[in-house]
Amino acid sequence: MKVVTCTAPVNIAVIKYWGKRNEDLILPINSSLSVTLHQDQLKTTTSIAASRDFTEDRIWLNGKEGDISHSRLQSCLREIRRLARKRRNSAAEDTVSRILNYKVHICSVNNFPTAAGLASSAAGYACLVYTLAKLYGVEGELSEIARQGSGSACRSIYGGFVQWVMGEREDGKDSLAQQVETESHWPELRILILVVSAEKKHVGSTSGMQTSVETSPLLKLRAETVVPERMKDMIESIKKRDFESFGQLTMKDSNQFHATCLDTYPPIFYLNQISQRIISLVHRYNDHYGQTKVAYSFDAGPNAVIFTLEPTVDEFVELVKRSFPPESNGDTFLKGLPVKPGLLS
Ligand code: PMV
């Protein structure tokens, strides 16, 4: 038996991916950009065992057996095994050939709420693909395979600041993740996750995107005219470590993503009243200082991701604690994570 264990961190998009032009290959209608969290923060840990005693491939997610026949899981397994077969004439030939004939048991655990709009599928599929690659000794471009598990997963293959270039080809060979800057590029940058609700989201990203692509004129406009410019501006602000510009672009892009959700028919609501109160709090705080000291971003759920710089963390966390005392807000609580962008191990 051979067993491999790896971890992969969550990534948080500051330019959002929303909408596919090809559902099977998971090709997006716009490029996107994210920050990968540090390895020891929000992460998935996956162990994969290959043994001649196993009679079928199986998977367990957070301790419960999952459906291994799921088409996206199968795409990842098939692609990695295909690459492993291709490179069998290397030194590792014997072991890899043997293991390729074995079935695998996959065990994956998240240390944060799954499917609550905290990018669990991104860390999950990045980890699955990375661990399978280690098991079969596959090297090289893994983001193309992770993308076929969950679009945003391709960005978790790299640490630091990562763009997913949408590409132009029909076969998706140029729809890949690329590191824009490494995890050590902006040491003062901090990310706080304000967990508003750990409940599963009501509309999953797959079906939400589908309806948005079919019905939202705003989404089409966003993909064609807004995001291309915004990607350039965002990359420049990251390279210059310009928080004023980084923070504003991040908030505007989150707001536009949620506006396209509202423009979808029937509309999709991911933000709740507490999310809206967090948005107001951030704007009031920034207005007080006359500069962008804190920025928010929300994915497909009500939980807030706050970006700020190290000197602002303590004061802002205090403010959030005072504005949202745990006893008055049911399931609202604060999870303060002073995180640095991190690398996949
Ligand atoms: O990769 P998916 O299907 O989980 O979609 C992710 C969509 C957002 O999280 C809302 C945005 C993003 O770019 O991560």
Pocket test residue of 120, 207, 260, 299 for ligand 1, highest count of atoms within 8 A of CB: 299
Residues 155 and 228 in one domain: no
Residue of the nearest CA to atom 8 in ligand 1? Answer: 299
Residues 151 and 218 in one domain: no
Residues 81 and 159 in one domain: yes
Pocket test residue of 110, 205, 211 for ligand 1, highest count of atoms within 8 A of CB: 205
Residues 118 and 14 in one domain: yes
Instruction: Classify residue 88: in a domain, yes or no.
Output: yes
Instruction: Classify residue 339: in a domain, yes or no.
Output: no
How many angstroms separate the alpha carbon of residue 148 from the centre of ligand 1? 13
Q: What is the pLDDT of residues 113-154, one digit of tens each?
A: 665 566 678 999 999 999 999 999 998 889 999 999 999 999
User: Which ligand 1 atom lies nearest to the CA of residue 151?
Assistant: 1
The residues that bridge with 85 in the sheet, in sequence order, are none
Residues 119 and 233 in one domain: no
pLDDT at 115: 55
Return d(Cα 66, Cα 83) in angstroms, integer: 25
Residues 289 and 241 in one domain: yes
Length of the chain: 345
pLDDT beyond 80 at 106: yes
Over residues 63-67, mean pLDDT: 96
Tokens of 62: 């957070």
User: Which ligand 1 atom lies nearest to the CA of residue 15?
Assistant: 13
pLDDT at 118: 67
Contact 187, 161 (CB under 8 A): no
Q: What is the pLDDT of residues 199-232, one digit of tens each?
A: 776 899 999 999 999 999 999 999 999 999 999 9
ipTM passes above 0.95: yes
**266: preceding bond cis by omega (within 30 degrees):** yes
User: Which ligand 1 atom lies nearest to the CA of residue 299?
Assistant: 10
Instruction: Classify residue 207: in a domain, yes or no.
Output: yes
How many angstroms separate the alpha carbon of residue 253 from the centre of ligand 1? 13
Instruction: Classify residue 333: in a domain, yes or no.
Output: no
Q: Give the CATH number, domain containing residue 196.
A: 3.30.70.890
Residues 132 and 204 in one domain: no
Q: How many domains does the chain have?
A: 2
Q: Give the CATH number, domain containing residue 80.
A: 3.30.230.10
Categorise residue 140: left if φ over 0, alpha if ψ from -120 to 50, beta otherwise: left
**Domain range holding 67?**
2-181
pLDDT at 331: 40
Residues 170 and 225 in one domain: no
Instruction: Classify residue 341: in a domain, yes or no.
Output: no
Instruction: Classify residue 12: in a domain, yes or no.
Output: yes
135, 154, 181 - which closes a domain: 181
b (16+ CB within 10 A) / e for 211-246: bbbeebebbeebbeebbeebbeebbebbeeeebebb
Q: What's the chain's Rg over C-alpha atoms? A: 20
145, 161, 181 - which closes a domain: 181
- Residue 332: phi and psi, rounded to 5, are -85, 125
Contact 148, 75 (CB under 8 A): yes
Residues 131 and 197 in one domain: no
Residues 195 and 147 in one domain: no
Determine the distance from the C-alpha atom of residue 303 to the mean position of all C-alpha atoms in its chain, rounded to a whole number: 14
pLDDT at 41: 77
The set of protein residues with a Cβ atom below 6 angstroms from ligand 1 is 13, 16-18, 32, 119, 121-122, 150-152, 205-206, 299-300
pLDDT band for position 257 (50/70/90)?
Answer: very high
Residues 263 and 298 in one domain: yes
Q: What is the pLDDT of residues 296-324, one digit of tens each?
A: 999 999 999 999 999 999 999 999 999 98
Instruction: Classify residue 337: in a domain, yes or no.
Output: no
- 3-state per-residue secondary structure call for 98-121: HHHCCEEEEEEEECCCCCCCCCHH
N-to-C CA span, the chain: 22
How many angstroms separate the alpha carbon of residue 263 from the centre of ligand 1? 18
How many angstroms separate the alpha carbon of residue 245 from the centre of ligand 1? 23
pLDDT beyond 80 at 274: yes
Instruction: Classify residue 334: in a domain, yes or no.
Output: no
Tokens of 177: 């993740």
Pocket test residue of 17, 34, 129, 201 for ligand 1, highest count of atoms within 8 A of CB: 17
Residue of the nearest CA to atom 9 in ligand 1? Answer: 299
Tokens of 13: 């998009």
Q: What is the pLDDT of residues 72-95, one digit of tens each?
A: 999 999 999 999 998 765 555 677
How many angstroms separate the alpha carbon of residue 209 from the centre of ligand 1? 9
Give this prediction's pTM.
0.92
Residues 198 and 169 in one domain: no
Contact 27, 54 (CB under 8 A): no
